[in-house]
Chain A
């Protein structure tokens, strides 16, 4: 029971923080925004993107950190959700969907939910097949899957005459979300929507981890044969968790599409999949609370690299970002394979500093 109550306390604290930041941005006391306070680093825009990534990362952490199944192609599901929403709202007329339906306020929400269900179902079937593979074989298969989905999106689903995905250029003019007459916009409103869903996702993730399912997942991570011997239906559970992570990524993709109002396939390629792994690694794969920290850490770091470091090195013709990014991935994997954030919480807990948010949830410090 102690674990449960600490979860609820952490969720309440996180919710309060979300409300505080969002409320601050809405009121802007004395005309000061978050961007002013942080020297342009933390904007409401960045917080929204962090919320979107948090939703993906909770799924990815369940899959990689708890079940021990690696995905190097998670951006594919993110992209599928984004393009589902984009195509069915912008190109509805091409598909013969009547304008009455396509223009209704509930249509994008229906598409969002439908996309998550479809992508989840698709990945359940795919997962059932490819999750038989272990370790690096699985990593490579998911990588291949990610590249295939990316190319299919880039090449207009193989049907250039319909031009559904818009090829390299993607789709622009995706409508904002509404509830009845209430628009989920400006950004501060969208922020509340995204973080509300992100906190729900975290609650869901914590629930999964604390339930018997979570114990079964950790058993799979430890030894599949042993898990099987105590009655865990390993292939089913792996496919289910893969489907859940894909559905969450799809949901995040839809939220991203309605946030950016434009989607291009390059956002969902091979490198973005790796970025998700980096975020997961930084936050700590075997930690649900690692998700928001990993997302925020990476986004802020990218912002620093883009706006600060580039000015310090005047000769460079390209961007420093990938160099530092890659080096960071190497260093984290070498020295903190269980993640920066959860390593910290783990130490705090070991020192007797009470239960940090991640302390109760981390099954082990072995990481991958």
Chain B
């Protein structure tokens, strides 16, 4: 974990971004170093525990590699969701709980559109996915215009509770429209429900895995280009200082696109349901917190670390406890290192 975290600090230019208002933002440098030490020690202990428990189960290298690969798959989706949280937080200062709803709307709409288009063929699938992403983005911008925009003068907490209400409402509509049963989207490679298995060095990988990795990498690269190269993107980064309303709406749309893409690309590997957004939304949020909530690279690294650790944890403990891991991480990070593990000097706090 440390080895991943170290080099990335140099890639982060010191920007003027809203720092977390947690206590550590005001903590002296010595405190920060020690919190980093705590985190390093904790991760070493955690890896030792993983290793010991895995040995008891007779795990070899290939089992660990399998868990690692599985972890990067969910981690990639967490990354898309987490970056969505960061986009909105940087522009509006709000933790957008509705993000989970967009993660659900993406695949559910894609499945509905795909069926409307006949339910077969790669072109139909691509068109349905694109339309679903667009529709989700439209919903998100409308939601922002109708709820958070009028309440922009309210306190951050009031606005966060508003996004919680939006989430509950949209998920409720999802239940009414799609019912409680799980749906399915065909795998992108075979265009069938059954996916092709690719075996590399004794590790079985679904072909969809490559789609998930590829889509996440491609989408995040596009986003980076948008922020670095376009006028609007640069303006949005500047909004971190001067929050402009139109930029806030755009941020909501962008976050929804990221969430919807993540949900869609994951759905052939899982079975989307009306309430899938809760888990993915919360996990994406935890990843964003691990990255410090204002850093894009931080959110991506946080997501991958969370995905992998969670996968290892699930592999060696009772499966029911899988979901606890992310929330324990959440509390640890909030308390010990709210600025995220990538943050260097000058990254956060004023």
Beta-carbon contacts under 8 Å, A118-152 to B: 129-130, 132-137, 139-141, 143-145, 147-148, 151-152
Q: How far is the CB of B50 from chain A (nearest CB, A)?
A: 17
Contact B155 A368, beta carbon cutoff 8 Å: yes
Interface stretch of the complex, out of B16-24, B58-66, B125-133: B16-24
- Report if A346 contacts B (CB, 8 A): no
User: What is the total of A-B residue contacts with beta carbons within 8 Å?
Assistant: 148
Say whether A322 contacts B175, CB under 8 Å. yes
- In the complex, how many residues of chain B place their beta carbon closer than 8 angstroms to a beta carbon of chain A? 49
Hey, which chain A residues are within 8 Å of B155, CB to CB? 337, 366, 368
Q: Complex Cα distance A132/B286, Å?
A: 19
A129 touches B335 (CB 8 A): yes
> A333 touching B20 by the CB < 8 A rule?
no
Q: Which residue of A lies closest to B22 (CB)?
A: A137
* A330 & B23 in contact (Cβ 8 Å cutoff): no
Task: Convert A222-253 into 0s and 1s, putting 1 for each residue whose CB lies closer than 8 angstroms to a CB of B.
Answer: 00000000000000000000000000000000
B147 partner residues in chain A, CB cutoff 8 A: 330, 334
Contact with B along A55-86 (1 / 0, CB 8 A): 00000000000000010000000000000000
Q: B328 to chain A: which residues have CB within 8 Å?
A: 144, 148
Whether the Cβ atoms of A133 and B158 lie closer than 8 Å is: no
Q: Which of B154, B159, B176, B334 contacts A137 (CB 8 A)?
A: B334
Which stretch, B165-173, B185-193, B302-310, touches the partner chain A?
A: B165-173
Contact (A133, B172) CB under 8 Å given A139-B160, A152-B324, A334-B151: no
Question: B313 contacts the other chain (Cβ, under 8 Å)?
Answer: no
In this complex, what residue of B is CB-closest to A132? B23
Q: Does B260 contact A (CB under 8 A)?
A: no
In this complex, the member of A136, A139, A147, A277 whose beta carbon has the largest number of chain B beta carbons within 10 angstroms is A136
CB <8 Å contact, A326 and B167: yes
B32-40, B220-228, B315-323 - interface stretch? B315-323
- Once the chains are docked, how many angstroms separate the CA of A325 from the CA of B338? 32
A367 within 8 Å of B (CB atoms) = yes
Chain A residue contacts of B180, Cβ below 8 A: 318
Please name all residues of chain B whose beta carbon is closer than 8 Å to the beta carbon of A337 when the two chains form the complex: 154-155, 158
B172 touches A155 (CB 8 A): no
A366 contacts across to B, CB distance below 8 A? 155
What residues on B are CB-neighbors of A271 within 8 Å? Answer: 168
Q: Are B323 and A133 in contact (CB under 8 A)?
A: no
Give, as a whole number of angstroms, the nearest-CB distance from A176 to chain B: 32
Decide yes or no: A318 and B175 within 8 Å by CB, A70-B157, A329-B164 being known contacts. yes
Chain A residues positioned under 8 Å from B334 (CB to CB): 130, 133, 137, 140-141, 144
In the complex, whether B327 has a CB less than 8 A from a CB of chain A is yes
Question: Using Cβ atoms and an 8 Å threshold, which residues of chain A touch B321?
Answer: 151, 155, 158
A323 contacts chain B at the CB level, 8 A cutoff = yes
**Beyond A323-B176, A333-B159, 14 extra complex contacts between A and B, CB < 8 Å:** A134-B23, A135-B21, A137-B21, A151-B327, A158-B318, A160-B318, A316-B176, A320-B172, A323-B173, A326-B168, A329-B162, A330-B165, A333-B154, A367-B158
A binding-site residues for B, Cβ under 8 Å: 70, 129-130, 132-137, 139-141, 143-145, 147-148, 151-152, 154-155, 158, 160, 270-271, 274, 277, 281, 316-330, 333-334, 337, 366-368
